Structure 1
Amino acid sequence: MDAAIAVQLVLGLTEPQSSGIGGGAFLLVYDPSTRQVSAFNGREAAPAAAQSDMFMATADTPLTRAAAVVSGRATGVPGVMRLLERAHGKFGRRPWVETFEPAIHLAREGFEVSPRMARYLSGSYPQVQTADVRALFARPDGTPLQAGDQFRNPAYASTLQSLATTGADALYRGTLAQQIVARTQAAPLGGAMTEADLASYSVDEVAPLCRIVWAHQVCVPPPPSSGVGVLQLLALLERTDIEQRRPDDPRAWLLFAQASRLMYADRDRYVADPRFVEVPVSELLAPDYIEARARLIDRDVSVAPAAGEFPARRVGEDATAEAAGTSHFVIGDASGMVVSMTTTVETYFGSGRTVGGFVLNNQMTDFSLNPRDGERPAANAVAGGKRPRSSMAPIVVLDLQGRFVAALGSPGGNAIPAYNGKTLLATLAWGMDLRSAIELPNLIARGGEFVAETERFAPGVVEELARLGLQLRPPRGEESGLHGLWRQADGTMLGAADSRREGTVNSVATQP
């Protein structure tokens, strides 16, 4: 847990386009002494005064996404620092202040800008065109930082020093909180956040959502995380013959695509903050419901599946447009404790507004911009104090005796459930090692779209899928960044990191 804090603080410096202390996260912790998984919900919250129609330009038309993400209304109350403080209080071993030292040192001394960070700073996203981002992440001549440049962030070092000595209160009360409120209330489209919203934010420790799939317990955070979608996807696939197939079989990818579409239809309709709407988690994972949905897998691929119907859950169609911009990491230690954390500021560089050397999130645009579908409200509509639905779904896998098997997860916006589902399918059903599973092609099937890394499939697969009706198009969002640990038969840990991104395996730990 100490290392997880240090990692998040450094990521906020070196990967600010994806995550940081101005964002939110979901965290799972496996404790070998109890064989229990703890889940923490550090998702951002809407200000108390937020209104359901705050992203509507007119009574019938939402704001464009480009306008919404850089508005003052886009930022929710950040959750990461309260999450880290809460988890450190339960699982930390070293003093809180020590976990800040690497990031403070790096912010003061500087680091070499990575190609990925430079690529996004030179992109056309509205957030990187803001005055705040242009000022913070710039060369002395005002041009955007380039790969290989040395970047120092003394303002971030100062912020971290305050958090190290004062605790998370340094962000939620006092001068920094005042600056956050002022920056979010500024034009264009100033938001409703107040100092009281920051001071009252709390992190929920919640029971993880676990189900048995292919003789393993798979655990995820409950809603508003999309972990329930990952579990549903696996349960649907378990009711097909996909276990007898392999990655070079087009039929396997057809089954995966069709099951994914069913999962996304249900997730998009029903998953939201359970404190505000009743999310039918048990119904979505009920064996009879899974059996009925699985019978739809072989239907005509030209027809996008609808969400299942639950008479007691009359909610409207969703209009959430999730974007990419997230980090994920897994850490295990020699005692057998493991953390799996997915963390985000939402889109690249969040809202494009900065305070204290860090980026403020635009997580409020993870709500449905249009709050209603005719007379029926969207489950994921804005409400004061509500937390938006998230695609984030860190995972811990146990055997049937509760012993640790694996931890994994990925960034990738709304593709996260598909990225995670592919990897769990390959490891749990096909027996592939984690590294090979991560490198399999990604296929995201949602509604009428089939997005895939066509160049990674075995010869002939793409052509056969096209004959079956799946016209694959190349991805245009954030690629996967899968990271994970897998306990091998001899007790050693195999670490794996996605070659599509900059992460690497840092070391090897042994399971006692």
Structure 2
Amino acid sequence: MPVIRLFLLPLLLVLGSCATVLPPTEAPAKEEAFVVAANPIAARAGMEVLERGGSAADAAVAVEAMLSLVEPQSSGLGGGGFMTYFDASSGKVTIYDGRETAPAQASPSMFLDSTGRPLPFAQAVLSGRATGVPGAVALLAEAHRDHGNLRWSDLFDAARQTAEDGFIVSPRLARMIAGDFPQNAAPDVRAYFARAGGGLLKAGDRLRNPAYAAFLDRLASEGPSAFYAGSTAAKIIGRTRAAPLGGSMTMADLASYRPIKRNPVCRPYRVYLVCAPPPPSSGVGMLALLGMLEKTDIARRGPVDPQAWFLFAEASRLMYADRDQFVGDPAFVRVPVQGMVDSDYLTERAQLIGQQAMPAPKPGNPAGAPALAADRTYEPAGTTHFIVRDGRGNVVSMTATVESIFGAGRMVDGFFLNNQLTDFAFSPVDSAGRPQANAVAPGKRPRSSMTPLILLDRQGHFAGAIGSAGGNAILAYVAKSLVAAIDWGLPMQDALAAPNLVARGSNFNGEATKFAPGVLEALAARGMTVKPGQGEDSGVHAVLIRDGKVDGGFDPRREGVVLVKPRG
């Protein structure tokens, strides 16, 4: 699909904008380049590419190649992702959809047992059926073809050398290795993280990955065919077809994978135009949540005001009810995108927020909504987000994932394979025979909560970027951070550190020990009992341009860093 020019008035009218956005003026010749990522080794790899004259797309390749090595619990070349790309010279935003796909022989009942009941998640996640056709390498290659300055072969040196020399296991990776996750019992996981003399690697140990170094050498010289054909592809097929519950992926599935360039979904929020990936991403849910919050007085409150968190929670629940019900792969299900972000519809939804917590909200009826079964998708966490801007002002906002911690727990050539197909609803229909929007189908892309955003100002200039890890909680994590930074005026680092609250259905989860005194008690009095815990927790990385300066932040719950290269 062609990229979209964001600043035409008709688009804003369709999306219910009340703001006037002017055509972008010529971008400055030099901007402050920056890299924000969840691991400092990966951020440095991206910055090194920028310092050699590389573009944001070039640096993104280097960052993700390194994250696959140093943060394998979250993302990697055996997974997929979404990239939101801002072209400074044209003012265009393009979505690169590298979401994994179900193999051609996948069936709607592949996650059901012999009695027709859904498999336990711990069993499904370790199965060969869990792995979708990976899209990360193809996505990065497509973005590089469109926007790269350096040769593809010159983008893997840092990751290849680090894999050969080894790197020091970080505290967070060590926690994941020692964690209570189904994948940690998988033979490949235990073998990879085995410590000489017995036991598993700990923080401070050195981890080498010569198999990954050798693979990167071939990927650099041969291009994406080193992944989607030949020996690596054959190994992927072998591992996914192995017991237990072997999958159906074929060499043809790998060879035929293509990323999709899509138009973004954009909607105003305060003084910004927020652009997000369309379905199968949940960007439309993010825009709907912001649209509902804009119809409340949350901006006049702050992080110590219980009413602010009450409004945030209720709007989140309404958003999730719609997102869960309607979002799926648009090639297979009609998603009422325009109806879900229509201003009048969002006003109706926001008016459901009362003085007490409502019962678990039901989906609304946005224009164009089909009749669908209630969603039954279980969506765990295991994701990363990073942002890159080059000196020309081009920006990458990318969220990537292998799905759960260490993906499916199966390794090929030094990287883990995803378990992304467990992002589908295990049951294809409900008791009445109504289809689920997110049911499995051959070639289908599972619904994703990944929502890498780019924000533009009224003149069409880049104004910010944000995204997060966290499974279904991504939407709450990102929205909380935007409210804290934009509405409450917190510096970005403080905005990301503000407590997380994930309200979905009847559940209220969050960082119960981090709220200001009295907030949780006031919420409980209104019917919201906040309980600790939510998956892998957040991994928000964000940038806002304030008064011409870069206000960047990394999630303090992870091990990220913001690197900025001054103009010049």
Both structures adopt the same fold (TM-score exceeding 0.5): yes
One-letter code aligned to 1:420: V
Partner of 1:197: 253
Paired residues for 1:237-248 under 5 Å: 237-248=293-304
Partner of 2:61: 5
* 1:80 is the counterpart of 2:136: yes
RMSD of aligned residue pairs (Cα, Å): 1.3
Partner of 1:483: 541
Q: 2:267 aligns with which of 211, 229, 239?
A: 211
Partner of 1:507: 564
Superposed displacement of residue 433, structure 1: 2.4
CA distance in 2, matches of 1:364, 1:142: 34
Partner of 1:14: 70
Partner of 2:359: 303
* 1:30 is the counterpart of 2:124: no
Q: 142-151 vs 44-53, which deviates more?
A: 142-151
CA distance in 2, matches of 1:89, 1:10: 20
Superposed displacement of residue 283, structure 1: 0.8
TM-score calculated relative to the size of structure 1: 0.98
* 1:435 is the counterpart of 2:493: yes
CA distance in 1, matches of 2:114, 2:421: 18
Q: 2:185 aligns with which of 106, 120, 129?
A: 129
Q: 2:519 aligns with which of 447, 461, 465?
A: 461
Partner of 2:53: none
Which string of whole-angstrom CA distances, capped at 9 and with x for unpartnered residues, describes residues 94-152 of structure 1? 11111100000000011000111111111221111111111122222342111111111
One-letter code aligned to 1:362: N
Partner of 1:291: 347
Q: Structure 1 residues 386 and 147 mapped into 2: Cα distance closer, same or farther (>3 Å)? A: same
Partner of 1:100: 156
The answer to whether the 8 A contact 2:336-2:369 is kept is: no
SS of the aligned residue for 1:282 comes to: helix
Partner of 1:314: 371
Superposed displacement of residue 506, structure 1: 2.0
CA distance in 2, matches of 1:298, 1:51: 43
Which string of whole-angstrom CA distances, capped at 9 and with x for unpartnered residues, describes residues 190-216 of structure 1? 101000000000000111111111121
CA distance in 2, matches of 1:270, 1:294: 18
CA distance in 1, matches of 2:353, 2:277: 26
CA distance in 2, matches of 1:2, 1:404: 19
Q: 2:327 aligns with which of 256, 271, 286?
A: 271
Q: 48-57 vs 476-485, which deviates more?
A: 476-485
The answer to whether the 8 A contact 2:334-2:369 is kept is: no
Superposed displacement of residue 59, structure 1: 4.3
Q: 25-34 vs 499-508, which deviates more?
A: 499-508
* 1:396 is the counterpart of 2:454: yes
Q: 1:423 aligns with which of 474, 477, 481?
A: 481
The answer to whether the 8 A contact 1:332-1:509 is kept is: no
One-letter code aligned to 2:85: V
* 1:470 is the counterpart of 2:540: no
CA distance in 1, matches of 2:524, 2:356: 13
Q: 450-459 vs 422-431, which deviates more?
A: 422-431
Paired residues for 1:59-78 under 5 Å: 59-78=115-134
SS of the aligned residue for 2:381 comes to: coil
Partner of 1:184: 240
Which string of whole-angstrom CA distances, capped at 9 and with x for unpartnered residues, describes residues 432-488 of structure 1? 322221111110000000011122211211111111111010014111111122212
The answer to whether the 8 A contact 2:473-2:534 is kept is: no
Q: Structure 1 residues 271 and 325 mapped into 2: Cα distance closer, same or farther (>3 Å)? A: same
* 1:356 is the counterpart of 2:413: yes
Q: Structure 1 residues 443 and 507 mapped into 2: Cα distance closer, same or farther (>3 Å)? A: same
The answer to whether the 8 A contact 1:494-1:508 is kept is: no
Superposed displacement of residue 32, structure 1: 1.1
Q: Structure 1 residues 498 and 508 mapped into 2: Cα distance closer, same or farther (>3 Å)? A: farther
SS of the aligned residue for 2:531 comes to: coil
One-letter code aligned to 1:370: S
CA distance in 2, matches of 1:274, 1:27: 18
One-letter code aligned to 1:414: N
CA distance in 2, matches of 1:156, 1:34: 37
Q: Structure 1 residues 161 and 339 mapped into 2: Cα distance closer, same or farther (>3 Å)? A: same
CA distance in 2, matches of 1:23, 1:463: 41
Superposed displacement of residue 494, structure 1: 2.1
* 1:370 is the counterpart of 2:427: yes
CA distance in 1, matches of 2:217, 2:150: 17
Superposed displacement of residue 312, structure 1: 5.0
SS of the aligned residue for 1:27 comes to: strand
Which string of whole-angstrom CA distances, capped at 9 and with x for unpartnered residues, describes residues 9-35 of structure 1? 111001101100000010011111111
Q: 2:283 aligns with which of 220, 224, 227?
A: 227
Q: 1:49 aligns with which of 76, 80, 105?
A: 105
The answer to whether the 8 A contact 2:383-2:471 is kept is: yes
CA distance in 2, matches of 1:432, 1:36: 29
CA distance in 2, matches of 1:257, 1:66: 29
The answer to whether the 8 A contact 2:267-2:274 is kept is: yes
CA distance in 2, matches of 1:407, 1:249: 26
Q: Structure 1 residues 112 and 31 mapped into 2: Cα distance closer, same or farther (>3 Å)? A: same
Q: 202-211 vs 480-489, which deviates more?
A: 480-489
CA distance in 1, matches of 2:355, 2:332: 35
TM-score calculated relative to the size of structure 2: 0.88
Q: 1:256 aligns with which of 301, 312, 318?
A: 312
Partner of 2:402: 345
Partner of 1:386: 444
Superposed displacement of residue 335, structure 1: 1.6
Q: Sequence identity of aligned pairs in percent? A: 52
The answer to whether the 8 A contact 1:410-1:416 is kept is: yes
The answer to whether the 8 A contact 2:298-2:308 is kept is: yes
Q: 463-472 vs 356-365, which deviates more?
A: 463-472
Superposed displacement of residue 509, structure 1: 4.3
CA distance in 1, matches of 2:116, 2:365: 26
One-letter code aligned to 2:400: T
Q: Which has the higher contact order (CA 8 A, sep 6+)?
A: 2
CA distance in 1, matches of 2:534, 2:385: 20
One-letter code aligned to 1:501: R
Counting matched residue pairs gives: 510
The answer to whether the 8 A contact 1:70-1:127 is kept is: yes
CA distance in 2, matches of 1:434, 1:403: 19
CA distance in 1, matches of 2:296, 2:565: 36
Partner of 1:409: 467
| Unaligned runs of at least 5 residues, structure 2 | 1-56
Q: Structure 1 residues 51 and 299 mapped into 2: Cα distance closer, same or farther (>3 Å)? A: farther
Q: 1:494 aligns with which of 551, 556, 565?
A: 551
SS of the aligned residue for 2:196 comes to: coil
Q: Structure 1 residues 176 and 182 mapped into 2: Cα distance closer, same or farther (>3 Å)? A: same
The answer to whether the 8 A contact 2:357-2:527 is kept is: yes
The answer to whether the 8 A contact 2:102-2:442 is kept is: yes
CA distance in 2, matches of 1:470, 1:425: 20
CA distance in 1, matches of 2:217, 2:562: 28
One-letter code aligned to 1:392: M
Superposed displacement of residue 269, structure 1: 0.6
